[in-house]
Structure 1
Amino acid sequence: MTDFRHRIERRRILAALALLPLGSAPLAWAQDYPSKPVRFIVSFPPGSGADTLARLYARRLQDMTKQPFIVENRPGANSFIAAQAVATAAPDGTTLFFASNSPVVVNAVLFKNLPYQPLNDFAPVARTSRGTNLLLVPQASPYKTVADLVEAAKKAPKKLNYAAGSASYQIATEEFAEAVGADFTHVPYKGAAPAIQDTAAGVTDFTIADISASLPLVQGGRLRALAVTSDRRHAALPNVPTAIESGATGFEYYNWTAVFAPAKTPQAVVDKLSQQIGQITGEPETLAYLAKLGGETFPADAKELRRYQITQIEQWKRVAQRAGIQPE
């Protein structure tokens, strides 16, 4: 008798489930998400700009969801390690990638055989921030303006050199060179810090570098900022013109950050995360934190993030090809 009742009850449950609207199960799961701790993978070491920003978002998401969001640093190997950790994780929203533009855009341009696919292996969630850069020369440099630098470069093509702390800075500088119609010689560096330091010491003629890393040397009188690479002047350096104002037609360059999930993460989970991250991006604490770093919020939902990612990859491929930069 008991078995008979169990069978009847089971049939009733199955019948009720059959009447539920299609897709309601994933929606119900998303409502309960997250039901366990979430990892935020970062491809930079602790204390870096991306790391500290990820920790701000992780703390606020934890406040919202009452589940731990744990920042996990996986630096090195051109961000391959971090990217692979996310690409191969279960697509359930418990592993997220707090990424800069390097692993999801730049690597697609610079490497032939990536161990992951920047477009196919990740589901875009939300874009969060961007930071401008400075075009810098040593304080003792004879070049007081972008026009001075370009004039000298045109008189002696390839004579002036630039320090590039990464391949992304190389491509950005080549895009600047194209915009002003000049040729410079690339000097590669393993990181932005030594590139900035050697430019300050006069070892190289100029560099393009993140404002948060280079502003103290400008304010300390070791570097001179000729231009900012954003679409408007920066509040910390109101007398420094934009590169476009200085004659580099159409040239803008930003470092940016965004959140991605493994491909095939349920759309309802992505949508929920996108909404929560968008809310955090608009909060006063986030705006103030980014302003302190010399950056700004740069919000976008999942669809806009994907469009932007594709546009950036195409743009950087064109610049790399014109500059003769071959994928490794």
Structure 2
Amino acid sequence: MSALKTLLFGFALAATSLVAPAQPTFPEKPIKLIVPYPPGSGTDTVARYTARRLETALKQPVVVENRAGGNAIIAVQAVINSPADGYTLLWAANGPVSTNVALYEKLPYDPLVDLQPVARVAYSPMGLFVPSNSRFKTATELLNETKSNPGKLNYASGSATYNIATEWLLSIAGGKATQVSYKGSAPAIADLAGGQVDFSIVELSAATPLVQAGKIRLLAVTAEKRMPNEPNTPTLQELGYKDFFQVAWWAVFAPKGTPASVRSTLEQTLLKVYSDAESKEYLDKNNFSAFLGDAAALRKFQENEIKRESLLVKEFKIPKM
């Protein structure tokens, strides 16, 4: 190529770059945050708080859409079938991105392939609850009953995560109870308050309003230490159920193929929002805790959770779906 042609070729490239359209700035339109459970659950509550904070930070509406049912499978499929542009996101608890892998024989999606991690933000310990008029005054009394009369009591399970947690605890206690499945923690504890079921393990944040209203009672928490808002309630570990520890955690995922720049914007915004004083006050008040992790940390944590919960299912012979 002659020197003249080289110069002309270089000029043509420069001219092309000058007239190339600018990349759109994300976000330029409303964002949809899909929640796998009904309104009123801890997952839904913290999702709505997150949406409000994201709206302010990103200067675009963030709409929460509840897609309950199918142990969160319906919500996941809605997200992975959406355009991979960052405008449809999954507000995930343990269930859809780790527990389902451990509990289902055949899952119609692969959360490690079909979803890309954005950021991990918060967690809430769970509690063992009974109706306010229950004859069981302690967790030990309740669990002893499941041992002496296996299968007589029933429990409300709002998701696959709570199913595993309850079956794990029953296995440690040497007891059995009958599972009653629900589409989320809110309807599960509503029936618990009404006396339709005998007990339930559910995140503290979802149950707190019914505890305050005197509808249900908290017997024990699943954390490693007592909760600041519940100083008189023992942990299950304190009561002798060795190594029992389970929390509900929340993170944001995007469909496979979402541009890295979009995911980075969302990741940085979420981590910044959950690092400030306003979020700390909100989390403390509602029995949540910050649990910050970037996309890489979230993926590693997710993989470890899948391994841990798969081992629990195998070790304690929890029936698969």
User: How has the CA–CA distance of structure 1 residues 16 and 240 changed in structure 2, closer, same or farther, with 3 Å as cutoff?
Assistant: farther
Instruction: Give, in whole Å, the separation in 1 of the partners of 2:68 and 2:152.
Output: 35
Q: 1:114-149: CA deviations, max 9, x gaps?
A: 332211101101011112221123455554433444
Amino acid at match of 1:40: L
Describe how 1:83-98 pairs up with structure 2 within 5 A: 83-98=76-91
1:225 aligns with 2:218: yes
- The residue type paired with residue 306 of structure 1 is R
Match of 2:304 among 306, 311, 328: 311
The aligned counterpart of 1:21 is none
TM-score of the superposition, structure 2-length normalised? 0.82
Tell me the residue number matched to 2:275: 282
Aligned CA distance change for structure 1 residues 177 and 9 (closer, same or farther; 3 Å): farther
Q: Does 1:183 align with 2:182?
A: no
1:80 counterpart residue number: 73
- Secondary structure of the corresponding residue to residue 32 of structure 2: strand
C-alpha change, 1:279 and 1:196, in structure 2 (3 Å) is same
The 5 Å alignment of 1:236-255 reads 236-255=229-248
Offset, 1:248: 1.4
State the identity %.
Answer: 42
Distance 1:183 1:275, change over 3 A: same
Please say if 1:123 is aligned against 2:116.
Answer: yes
**Displacement, 1:312?**
1.5
Q: How far, CA to CA, are the matches of 1:66 and 1:229 in structure 2?
A: 38
SS of 2:108 mapped into structure 1? coil
State the superposition RMSD in angstroms: 3.2
Which letter maps to 2:79? V
Any gaps of 5 or more consecutive residues in structure 1? Answer: 1-7, 19-24
* Rounded Cα–Cα distance in structure 2 between residues aligned with 1:51 and 1:199: 19
**Residues in 2 aligned to 1:63 and 1:199: alpha-carbon distance in whole angstroms:** 37
- SS of the equivalent of 1:106 reads helix
Matched ranges for 1:264-275 at <5 A: 264-275=257-268
Whole-angstrom CA distance in 2 between matches of 1:156 and 1:327: 24
- Pair 1:122–1:13, CA change in 2 (3 A): farther
In structure 1, how many angstroms separate the alpha carbons of the residues matched to 2:132 and 2:57?
Answer: 47
- Following superposition, the deviation at residue 219 of structure 1 comes to 4.2
* 1:113 and 2:106 aligned: yes
Q: What secondary structure does 2:273 align onto?
A: helix
Q: Does 1:134 align with 2:134?
A: no
Q: For the residues of structure 1 that align with 2:146 and 2:40, how far apart are their CA atoms?
A: 38
**Kindly tell me: are residues 222 and 250 of structure 1, through their superposed partners in 2, closer, same or farther at Cα, counting changes over 3 Å?**
same
Task: Determine the C-alpha separation between the residues in 1 that align with 2:212 and 2:33.
Answer: 34
Contact conserved, 1:170 with 1:186, CA < 8 A, in 2?
Answer: no
Structure 2 counterpart SS, 1:208 = strand
Work out whether 1:54 is the aligned partner of 2:47. yes
Q: What is residue 4 of structure 2 aligned with on the other side?
A: none
How far apart, in 1, do the equivalents of 2:158 and 2:81 lie?
A: 29
Q: What TM-score does the superposition give when structure 1 sets the normalisation length?
A: 0.80
Is the contact between residue 157 and residue 182 of structure 1 (CA under 8 Å) also seen in structure 2?
no
Q: Tell me which moved more, 161-170 or 90-99.
A: 161-170
Report the equivalent of 1:12.
11
- Distance, in Å, in 2 between the alignment partners of 1:212 and 1:281 is 17
